[in-house]
Amino acid sequence: MNENLTIEIVEFKSLKGTDEKVFLEASDTMMKDLKKQSGFINRELLKSEDDQWIDIVHWRSLTDAELAAKNVMSIPSCLKFFKMIDEATLKMMHLRQVRKY
């Protein structure tokens, strides 16, 4: 177990009319810049049958996650992806890993 490991979970729906292929291409492009953020470990993007998305990002620490959250707001590739998210549905949280089995 890594006591500092932070897991960022973002739940959202994409804006109505968003083409999923374009959305996923924007996500792929954003990864090039996200990987450069300090403390980035990995990311998963999940989708439910009712078009609910879950974005899970593992960070080395909460400090790294919080700094990245600020940094991505000035990165064009990230902003392009974020513009396809319905902000009214957006929920974000940072969780500390307490056990790994």
Q: Is residue 20 part of a domain?
A: yes
Provide the whole-model pTM.
0.92
Predicted pLDDT at 68: 97
pLDDT in tens, 19-77: 999 999 999 999 999 999 999 999 999 999 999 999 999 999 999 999 999 999 999 99
Domain count, the chain: 1
Distance of CA 43 to the CA centre of its chain: 7
Is 78 inside any structural domain?
Answer: yes
Q: Domain range holding 17?
A: 6-96
With vertex at residue 98, the alpha carbon angle to CA 93 and CA 101, rounded to the nearest 5 degrees, is 115
Residue 73, C-beta contacts closer than 8 angstroms, at least 6 positions apart = 79
Structural domain contains residue 1: no
Distance in angstroms (rounded) separating the CA atoms of residues 14 and 20? 9
> Residue 66 domain-assigned?
yes
The CATH number linked to 34 is: 3.30.70.100
Task: Give domain status of residue 101, yes or no.
Answer: no
